[in-house]
Amino acid sequence: MVRKTLILAACLALGGCVTARGDFCQISSPIRLSNQIVEQMSDSEVNDVLRHNRLGQELCGWSP
């Protein structure tokens, strides 16, 4: 439960109000999670991480 809370906090921090200057590709990086952590996440949390990583693939050329 604690890990799930920490992961959610990290996702919210990445998607929350950012005061850093620069575009998405300069201030973001892929979110990489172990299978064990993904199993503990809700469908909504998994979808948020996938949405973030797919945007990075499209805009920044991140590889899966």
Q: What is the pLDDT of residues 3-46, one digit of tens each?
A: 777 777 777 776 665 556 778 999 999 999 999 999 999 999 99
Q: Which of 33, 24, 21 is nearest to 55 (CA)?
A: 24
- The answer to the question of residue 59 being in a domain is yes
Cα distances from 46 to residues 9, 12, 22, 51, 53, in angstroms, run: 13, 13, 26, 9, 11
Could you tell me if residue 10 is inside a domain? no
Supply the DSSP symbol for 26: H
pLDDT of res. 54: 95
**17 located within any domain:** no
> Which pLDDT score is estimated for 10?
75
Token pair of 58 as six digits? 């499209």
What does the pLDDT read at residue 32? Answer: 95
Residue numbers of the domain that contains 27: 22-64
* Predicted TM-score (pTM) of this structure: 0.65
What is the domain count for the chain? 1
pLDDT at 12: 72
In a domain, 29, yes or no: yes
Does residue 3 belong to any structural domain of this protein?
no
- For 36, counting Cβ atoms within 10 Å of its Cβ (0-12 exposed, 13-18 middle, 19+ buried), the class is exposed
35 assigned to some structural domain: yes
Q: Is residue 12 part of a domain?
A: no
